[in-house]
Amino acid sequence: MVFRLASTIQDPHAYNYWLEVCALLFLVCLLIRSIVDKKFVSKVNIIFGAAIVCGVIDVLLDVIAAVLVDHPDAVSERFNFFINGTFYFFQLTFPCLLYSFILYVASISTKTRRKMYFFFIPSGLYFLCLLTNPFTKWVFDINYANVGTENSILIHGPMFIWLYIVTFFYVALTTVTLIILNKKIEKQFQATMGFSLAFIVAMLAIQLLFPRYLLTGVAISFCCWINYEQLSTGDLKDRVSGVYNYNAFLNYAKSEIDFPRHRYLIICHVGNITKINSTFGFLTGNHVYKQIGNFLASFGNNFVFRISNSRFVIAFKDEEDMHRALLLIKAKFDHPWEVDGINFDITADGYYVKGDIGASNTTDYIEFISNLEYKVKKPNDETFVCVDQISIHKISRDKAIEKALRKAIDNDFEGFEMNYQPIYEITKNKFNHSEALIRFTHPELGKISPAEFIPIAEQCGLAQKIDRYVLRTTCEFLQKHPSIDFLDINISGAEFSSNPSKEFTRIVKSYGVSPKKFVIEVTETATIEYPEKLEKFMKDMIKEGFAFAIDDFGTGYSNISRILQTSFSIIKFDKTFLAANDTAEKILESMTSLLKNLKISIVIEGVETKEQYEHMKELGIEYIQGYYFSKPLNEQAYEKFMDKQEAVA
C-alpha cells in the first residue's frame, strides 16, 4: 500500500496525478471485465471482487482528495474533510482484504480462520479512531485557515503514522501467512501473490523517495490485475475442449458448498474418442473434443467442466434447463458428428443429479461425482440415470457407514459381534452345525445389517479386514466349544483375487483349531465373477482341510455343470425355493436326487414356518436353516440354545 504523503509537500501543485488516473482507468476496466465474466460465487471471488471495488473507490478518492487539497476553494471545508476522511477509511480496507483473501485462498478451517481474525484488532483501532468524532483529528484534519499560507490544509495527527504501521503490518502478515500456509496454496498462486506483495513494497519505497508521485493506484491495480488473471485464467480452462478444467471444477465445488446455487448437474461420459485418436490421430481427436465442448457450452445458463479425459460436468441453476439440455445431448449424440469432413459415432451416457448433494467439503463433493458409477446402478436401457434426493441420501448413508466401519475397525473392531444360527439336520434330528453371521452396531447409526454394510466394505476395500476378524472370532468360538462339528463362515468374493489360503490356514492353526471345522460359504454370484481365481483358492484350501458351500444358490445364473465340477460339499438353496410353485418344487426335487448321488449336502435357507419345514422334509432336504428353529444368536444365547437341545435329547 502506498500513501500520498501530502503533509510533506510544501508546494500544493506538486502532486503528479497522471499515474493515478491511468491506474484508475485500468482498475475500472478490470472491474467491468470482472462483472461481465462468468464467475463462480465463491468466498475467494467475493473477497477479490470486494478488493477491486475498494481499490477503485480508494484510487478515485485519492485523486479527488489530492485535487481538493490542491484546490480548497472549489469546495467547502466540510466537504473536503468528508472526502479526505472517506479516502483514509478506504486506505486500510485494501490491505485488510488482501489478508482475508490469502486466508480464504488457503482454505483453512473456519475455526482457524476465526482465530486469525484476531489480527484485525490493529485496523479496528484505526477505524474506530477515524470514525469517532473528536478522535478523527488524531488521524487527520482539514484546516482552511491554512489557505494562502505555506502550510497545507491537510494536517496529520499522531495516529496517522498508525496507518503506515498497520499497512506494513498487513503486508508482512500476508507474506508470513503465504509462507506458513504454502502447502495449502497452489504454486502459481504463491508466485502471483508473492510478486504482488513485492511490487507493493517496491511502490511504497519509490513513493517514500519521490513523494510527489501518487503510486497507490499503480500498486493496487497491478496487484488486482495479476491476481485476477490467476483467478480467472490461471490454469482454469481446458485447452483442448475450451471449457473449464478440473482445477476450475475444484473452485466451483468450493463455491457450491459456500453458496449452493447450481443444484442440477449432468455428468456426461463421452465414448469412442480413444478409438478416434488411435485411428485418425490426436489432432482430429482434439477437434472432436473442441466441438463437444462448444456444443455443451451452447445451452446457456450453465457451467461446463471437463473433469477427466472423457467426463464432462454441466451445472445448471434451473431444473428445466437441465432437462432441456439432456434432451439436446441425447438427440445430438444419436447422430454422427461431422469433424474435419469425417463422420464419427460418439456415445454419451452418464447421470443427472437433482438436488442438494449435501457435501460439507470439496473432497466429499468431488468424491460424490467421481463415485457415481460405483454407487448408482445403471440399467442397460438408459443412457442417463437420474440421481434424485433418495439416491443422494443412500450415497451419503453409504459414506457414513464407510466412515463408521473404518473407525470401528481401527478401534479394534468396536461394535462388531458374531452371531450363530443353528442349522438342523433332519435325519439325525439335531443341530449339528451353524452359520456364523456378523453384526455391527454403531453408536449413532444403530444396528446395521450385514446385507447393507458388507457390500460397502467390499467396495471400499475393508472386506478383507472383516473376513480376518470373522476368522479369528470364529476360531476363538470353536476353541471354546470343541463339541461343535463344523461352522459355516461367509467370505467376501473380494478375497479370491489375492488367494489368501496360506494366511487363512496359518490363522486357523495358530488357534489350534482344525481347518476341517470350517465350511466356507461362497455366494453364487462370486462364483460367476471370479471363476478361475476361486477355483485355485478352493483347491489350495481344500488341500488344507477346509470345505466349501455355495451360498444363495438360485439367485445367480451360474452354469450348473460347472458348479458341479467344482468341489463344493454343500449347496445352500436360497429362500426363493420355498415359494410353493411348481417350478421351484420341480427344480428342488430333481436337484435333490442329483446332488445326493454326487454326495453334496443340501441346506435350505429361510425356513420360517412348520408348513415350509414339513414340505422340505417331504422333498428329502437334509439341512434346514431358518427362523422356524432359531434366529441367529449371540454367543451366550447360542450356548443356552444348545444346552436346551441337549436336555431335550
Q: Give the interface with ligand C2E as residue ranges (CB under 6 A).
A: 421, 437-438, 449-451, 454, 470, 490-492, 521, 551-552, 605-608, 625-627, 632
Q: Give me the least distance between CB of 486 and ligand C2E, in Å please.
A: 16
CB of 435 to Ca ion, least distance (A): 6
What is the DSSP code (8-state) at residue 75?
S
Report the residue number, 177 or 492, with the smaller CB distance to ligand C2E. Answer: 492
Would you count residue 521 as binding Ca ion (CB under 5 A)?
yes
CB of 618 to Ca ion, least distance (A): 22
Q: Of the two residues 352 and 413, which places its CB atom closer to ligand C2E in the complex?
A: 413
| Collapsed DSSP state (helix, strand, coil) of residue 133 | helix
Amino acid sitting at position 61: L
Binder of residue 167, out of ligand C2E, Ca ion, none (CB less than 5 to 8 A by kind) = none
- Asked if residue 467 binds Ca ion (CB under 5 A), the reply is no
Q: Which is nearer to ligand C2E, 197 or 437 (CB)?
A: 437
Q: Least distance in Å: CB of 412 to ligand C2E?
A: 17
Between 4 and 442, CB nearer to ligand C2E: 442
606 binds, among ligand C2E, Ca ion, none (CB under 5 to 8 A by kind): ligand C2E
Among residues 493, 543, 556, 560, the alpha carbon closest in space to that of 521 is found at: 493
In angstroms, rounded to a whole number, what is the distance separating the alpha carbons of residues 352 and 319? 10
| Closest separation in Å from C-beta 589 to ligand C2E | 22
Instruction: List the single partner that 531 binds among ligand C2E, Ca ion, none, CB under 5 to 8 Å by kind.
Output: none
Q: What is the footprint of Ca ion within residues 256-315 (CB under 5 A)?
A: none
Stretch that binds Ca ion, among 123-131, 158-166, 482-490, 591-599 (CB under 5 A): 482-490
Out of Ca ion, ligand C2E, none, which partner does residue 234 contact, by CB within 5 to 8 A per kind?
none
Question: Residue 423 belongs to what H/E stretch?
Answer: strand 416-425
* Distance of alpha carbon 518 from alpha carbon 499, whole angstroms: 17
**Alpha helix (H) residue ranges in 460-581:** 463-480, 501-510, 524-529, 531-544, 560-565
Query: Which of ligand C2E, Ca ion, none sits in contact with 632, Cβ below 5 to 8 A by type?
Result: ligand C2E
Choose, by CB under 5 A, the member of 70, 238, 349, 552 that binds Ca ion: 552
Partner that binds at residue 421, options Ca ion, ligand C2E, none, CB closer than 5 to 8 Å by kind: ligand C2E
Dmax (CA) for the chain in angstroms is 122
Backbone angles phi, psi at 631, to 5 degrees: -80, 165
Shortest distance, position 533 Cβ to Ca ion, whole Å = 20
Which one of 241-249, 416-424, 485-493, 536-544 is the stretch in contact with Ca ion (CB under 5 A)? 485-493
**Closest separation in Å from C-beta 581 to ligand C2E:** 18
User: Other C-beta atoms within 10 Å of 260: how many?
Assistant: 13
Our CB check for Ca ion shows the closer of 355 and 606 to be 606
Cell (9 digits) for 244: 473449464
Element (H, E) at 521: strand 518-523
Nearer to Ca ion, 243 or 522 (CB): 522
CB of 245 to ligand C2E, least distance (A): 41
Q: How many Cβ atoms from other residues are within 10 Å of residue 627's Cβ?
A: 12
d(CA 21, CA 25): 6
Report helix, strand or coil for 519.
Answer: strand
Give yes or no for a contact between 390 and 353, defined as CB atoms under 8 angstroms apart. no
Nearer to ligand C2E, 350 or 626 (CB): 626
Measured from the CB atom, is 167 or 490 closer to ligand C2E? 490
With respect to ligand C2E, which residue has the nearer C-beta, 241 or 492? 492
- Report, in Å, the least distance between residue 489 CB and Ca ion: 8
In the complex, least distance from residue 482 CB atom to Ca ion, rounded to whole angstroms:
24
Q: Which of 551, 612, 624, 642 binds Ca ion (CB under 5 A)?
A: 551
Instruction: Write out 181-246 in H/E/C secondary structure.
Output: CHHHCCHHHHHHHHHHHHHHHHHHHHHHHCCCECCHHHHHHHHHHHHHHHHHCCCCECCCCCCECH
- The residues that bridge with 305 in the sheet, in sequence order, are 244, 313
CB of 303 to Ca ion, least distance (A): 47
* In the complex, minimum distance from the CB of residue 554 to Ca ion, in angstroms, rounded to a whole number: 10
Residue 524 sits in the site that holds Ca ion (CB under 5 A)? no
Q: Which does 227 bind (CB under 5 to 8 A by kind): Ca ion, ligand C2E, none?
A: none
Taking a C-beta distance cutoff of 8 angstroms, is the pair 268, 370 a contact?
no
Nearest CB to Ca ion, comparing residues 339 and 616: 616
What's the min distance (Å) between Cβ of 336 and Ca ion? 48
**DSSP, residue by residue, 447-482:** EE-HHHHHHHHHHTT-HHHHHHHHHHHHHHHHHH-T
Q: CA 253 to CA 233: how far, in whole Å? A: 17
Instruction: Using the minimum distance from each CB to ligand C2E, give the nearer residue, 277 or 499.
Output: 499
Q: How many CB atoms lie within 10 A of CB 363?
A: 11
Residue 279 burial class via C-beta count within 10 angstroms: exposed 0-12, middle 13-18, buried 19 and up: exposed
470 is in the binding site of which of Ca ion, ligand C2E, none (Cβ under 5 to 8 A by kind)?
ligand C2E
- Out of ligand C2E, Ca ion, none, which partner does residue 522 contact, by CB within 5 to 8 A per kind? none
CA atoms within a 13 Å half-sphere pointing along the CA-CB vector of 251:
28
**What is the rounded CA–CA span in Å between residue 404 and residue 448?**
10
**Site mask for Ca ion (CB under 5 A), range 362-401, x = bound:** ----------------------------------------
CA distances to 14, 165, 200 from 218, in Å:
18, 20, 9
Instruction: Identify which of residues 495 and 551 has a Cβ nearer to Ca ion in the complex.
Output: 551
Is residue 625 close enough to count as binding Ca ion by CB under 5 A? no
